[in-house]
């Protein structure tokens, strides 16, 4: 899957996740809002414990629900509530002092309540008992009859700490007034757990119509169980998704650290449910408390890498803390689990706070756009961590909703969305840069190919020029010397003349092979002398007119040679075939070309011969030479008005290249 495709899938997944989260949040809010309001309204002032062994409650609320927050408390493992003399009045929520008797892990709570109305069996609904928080193994008796008992469990294991419980009560057991509710709770002492919420304890109890309590129970269950599980599973999926995206962006360690942190935090969020079924209380608590160490280490490394901070000693200290916390908790044992866990978690929180402050200071100094988002998220996370530490130290009452787990999960999800968005933008920029780089590479490649072609042409020209010079030298040294000998030693005037003409032609060819470019004005002067002289020897008057101004245009040596041969051929045709007595030659030099026009007053070319012009050797050679120089040679003639030859040659690099190639 390429990056564009991956970006599209990522965008669709994020939109679906956000929309689903909004819907779930709205539904939970709709459930929780009325329940929380009702729960607050249900709180009523309680009277002091009566001498009869049960407490009396205030009247019920508009739902018919009474709230019991005062009870008689007694530490006992008996199957019934002990004697009244062994009990003391306590307010709920209550964590009983197991430390007073290390061998005792069971206690009884006795509560008294009255039902609204004269008859407990009246009405259409059943009666229920709602325990918002009861951490431990439960046995519930109403008016001396057991209505609920948890199945046998291993000793000293926290049970049901993360979820509310709703128990139905048979109508036949209830009476209009003076009902006695006994709750036996077998749990784990605070010193042996790593979180206050997992110690044996009992929160205020609500009694009332089963239907009304069921709605409250469902709301509490949604927040305390379902919301936490959804948050944990969502973070696990986010972690996997971010890890996959981080694989595409392996050069950014901050993204990888965050993906691992999201996975580790999902393990922490989901860990309480797993710990309830563990075979060993101590190792379950050790695993839960130790899980915070890698989360804090990964969060610290993420914050540092987000600001491009790399200090080897700091990294080593962070890794050491992640290893030291599990070791310290294991060595301390179950008798000091709570104290050691709180100290370790405080140290880890301080470590993350220092990293956050350092990272934010660096982001602000670098004027990074992530500073504002990171500052807001860091402040929110700090508030949630402070709230959780206050709950663990007993200075803050634990809320009904697990604010710490859900709030931090939400912050991680928001930050994950921001990082994924930034990564998508970075990938888009990288894709744009890659496209631009490809275009640049294509341009450079084309330029290299052009340079290579030019170098190849230059090499060919160099080889060709070398070969021309060799041929010219051979002609000049061998053939030229022999022709010159014939000119000076031949007794025949005709042979001497032919040898002289051949020698002149050879010199012209040699000049074309080795000569330098010739100024157009100089070439016209040479052509005028030769042409006018030949016509005068034949008794033909010549009128040659050239431009008076001199320009800088130049002709390649080969162009000069080819044009000379065209003029010689044209002059020869006038002398041999035209019967003319007068020849007019006109020259015009333009910016890009020059024109030679040769016009005689001869008999012209007959109609029978006009179709054979291109097949004649002379005319054909003239046109072919002009064509080789990217020019043209036009012949216009008719019986009785002479012949006009118009030669047009361009003055540019094509002329030079074509002439050199010919």
In the prediction, which pLDDT does 25 show? Answer: 45
In the prediction, which pLDDT does 13 show? Answer: 42
Question: Would you say 545 and 524 are in contact if contact means Cβ atoms under 8 Å apart?
Answer: no
Q: Which of 493, 502, 437 is nearest to 475 (CA)?
A: 502
| Distance in angstroms (rounded) separating the CA atoms of residues 336 and 328 | 10
Residue 536, helix vs strand vs coil: helix
Assess whether the previous peptide bond of 93 is cis (omega < 30° from 0): yes
What's the CA angle centered on 95, arms 93 and 98, to 5 degrees?
160
Tell how many helices (H) and how many strands (E) occur in the chain.
Answer: 17, 19
Residues of the chain with pLDDT under 70: 1-59, 84, 96-104, 116-125, 153-159, 249, 272-280, 465, 468-485, 487-488, 490-493, 497-501, 503-515, 550-551, 606-617, 652-662
| Distance in angstroms (rounded) separating the CA atoms of residues 268 and 290 | 9
Structure tokens given for 596: 């030679």
The CATH H-level superfamily of 1-221 is Galactose-binding domain-like (2.60.120.260)
Asked whether this chain's domains 1-221 and 516-661 adopt the same fold, the reply is no
pLDDT in tens, 338-361: 889 889 989 999 999 999 999 999
User: Is residue 240 classed exposed, middle or buried when 0-12, 13-18 and 19+ CB atoms within 10 A define those classes?
Assistant: middle
Residue 165, helix vs strand vs coil: strand
In the prediction, which pLDDT does 484 show? Answer: 61
Kindly calculate the radius of gyration of the chain based on its CA atoms and give it in whole angstroms: 54
Q: Which of 529, 537, 558, 541 is nearest to 628 (CA)?
A: 558
In the prediction, which pLDDT does 317 show? Answer: 92
In the prediction, which pLDDT does 205 show? Answer: 92
The C-alpha torsion from 608 through 611 and 614 to 618, rounded to 10°, is 10
CA 258 centroid distance within chain:
15
Structure tokens given for 546: 């050239």
pTM of the model: 0.58
pLDDT in tens, 368-403: 777 888 888 888 888 888 888 888 887 887 787 788
Q: Does domain 516-661 have CATH number 3.30.1220.10?
A: no
Q: Reduce the secondary structure of 589-613 to three states and give it as a string.
A: ECCCEEEEEEEECCCCCCHHHHCCC
For the chain, give every domain's residue range: 1-221, 222-435, 516-661
| Distance in angstroms (rounded) separating the CA atoms of residues 154 and 187 | 11
The DSSP secondary structure of 14-75, one letter per residue, reads: HHHHHHHHHHHHHHHHHHHHHHHHHHHHH----PPPPTTSS---PPP-TTS-EEE-EEEEEE
| Distance in angstroms (rounded) separating the CA atoms of residues 339 and 285 | 13
Beta strand pairing call for 106-113 and 88-91: unpaired
In the prediction, which pLDDT does 24 show? Answer: 41
Question: Would you say 268 and 291 are in contact if contact means Cβ atoms under 8 Å apart?
Answer: yes
In the prediction, which pLDDT does 607 show? Answer: 54
* Partners of 589 in beta bridges: 594
| Distance in angstroms (rounded) separating the CA atoms of residues 637 and 610 | 8
The 541-545 sheet, strands edge to edge: 541-545, 582-589, 593-600, 643-650, 632-637
In the prediction, which pLDDT does 106 show? Answer: 85
In the prediction, which pLDDT does 401 show? Answer: 78
Q: Which of 573, 566, 587, 598 is nearest to 522 (CA)?
A: 587
Neighbours of 12 (CB within 10 A): 10
Phi-psi domain of 47 (left: phi exceeds 0; alpha: psi -120 through 50; beta: other)? beta
User: Is residue 410 classed exposed, middle or buried when 0-12, 13-18 and 19+ CB atoms within 10 A define those classes?
Assistant: middle
């Amino acid at each position: 899957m390429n990056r564009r495709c991956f970006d599209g899938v990522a965008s669709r997944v994020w939109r679906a996740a956000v929309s689903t989260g909004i819907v779930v949040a709205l539904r939970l809010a709709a459930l929780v809002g009325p329940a929380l309001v009702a729960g607050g309204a249900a709180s009523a002032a309680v009277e002091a414990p009566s001498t009869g062994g049960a407490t009396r409650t205030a009247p019920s609320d508009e739902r018919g629900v009474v709230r019991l927050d005062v009870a008689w408390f007694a530490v006992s493992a008996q199957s019934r509530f002990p004697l009244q003399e062994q009990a003391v009045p306590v307010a709920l929520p209550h964590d009983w002092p197991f430390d007073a008797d290390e061998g005792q892990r069971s206690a009884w709570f006795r509560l008294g309540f009255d039902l609204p109305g004269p008859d407990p069996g009246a009405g259409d609904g059943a009666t229920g008992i709602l325990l918002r928080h009861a951490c431990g193994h439960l046995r519930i008796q109403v008016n001396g009859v057991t209505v609920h008992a948890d199945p046998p469990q291993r000793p000293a294991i926290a049970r049901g700490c993360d979820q509310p419980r709703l128990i139905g009560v048979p109508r036949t057991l209830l009476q209009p007034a003076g009902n006695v509710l006994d709750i036996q709770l077998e749990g784990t002492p605070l010193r042996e757990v790593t979180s206050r919420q997992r110690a044996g304890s009992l929160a205020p109890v609500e009694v009332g119509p089963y239907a009304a309590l069921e709605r409250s129970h469902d709301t509490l269950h949604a927040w305390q169980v379902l919301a936490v599980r959804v948050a944990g599973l969502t973070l696990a999926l986010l972690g996997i998704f971010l890890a996959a995206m981080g694989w595409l962006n392996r050069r950014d360690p901050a993204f990888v650290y965050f993906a691992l942190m999201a996975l580790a935090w999902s393990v922490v969020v989901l860990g309480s449910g797993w710990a309830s079924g563990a075979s060993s209380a101590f190792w379950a608590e050790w695993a839960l408390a130790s899980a915070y160490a890698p989360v804090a280490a990964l969060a610290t490394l993420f914050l540092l890498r987000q600001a491009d901070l790399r200090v080897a000693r700091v990294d080593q200290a962070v890794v050491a803390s992640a290893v030291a916390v599990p070791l310290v908790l294991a060595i301390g044992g179950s008798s000091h689990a709570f104290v050691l866990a709180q100290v370790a978690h405080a140290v880890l929180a301080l470590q993350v706070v220092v990293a956050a402050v350092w990272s934010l200071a660096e982001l602000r100094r670098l004027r990074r756009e992530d500073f504002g988002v990171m500052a807001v998220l860091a402040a929110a996370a700090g508030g949630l961590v402070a709230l959780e530490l206050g709950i663990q130290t007993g200075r803050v009452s634990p809320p009904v909703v697990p604010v710490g787990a859900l709030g931090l999960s939400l912050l991680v999800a928001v930050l994950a969305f921001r990082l994924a968005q930034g990564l998508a933008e970075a990938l888009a920029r990288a894709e744009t840069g890659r496209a631009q780089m490809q275009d640049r590479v294509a341009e450079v490649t084309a330029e290299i190919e052009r340079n290579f072609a030019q170098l190849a042409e230059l090499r060919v020209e160099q080889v060709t020029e070398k070969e021309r010079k060799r041929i010219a030298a051979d002609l000049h040294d061998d053939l030229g010397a022999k022709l010159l000998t014939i000119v000076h030693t031949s007794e025949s005037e005709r042979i001497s003349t032919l040898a002289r003409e051949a020698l002149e032609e050879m010199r012209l060819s040699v000049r074309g092979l080795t000569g330098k470019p010739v100024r157009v004005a100089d070439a016209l002067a040479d052509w005028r002398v030769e042409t006018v002289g030949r016509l005068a020897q034949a008794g033909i008057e010549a009128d040659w007119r050239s431009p008076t101004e001199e320009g800088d245009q130049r002709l390649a040596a080969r162009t000069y040679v080819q044009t000379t041969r065209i003029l010689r051929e044209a002059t020869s045709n006038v002398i041999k075939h035209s019967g003319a007595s007068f020849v007019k030659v006109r020259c015009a030099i333009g910016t890009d070309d020059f024109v030679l026009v040769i016009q005689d007053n001869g008999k012209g070319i007959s109609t029978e011969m006009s179709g054979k012009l291109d097949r004649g050797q002379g005319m054909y050679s003239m046109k072919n030479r002009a064509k080789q120089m990217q020019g043209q040679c036009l012949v216009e003639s008719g019986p009785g008005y002479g012949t006009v030859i118009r030669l047009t040659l361009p003055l540019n690099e094509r002329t030079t290249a074509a002439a050199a190639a010919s």
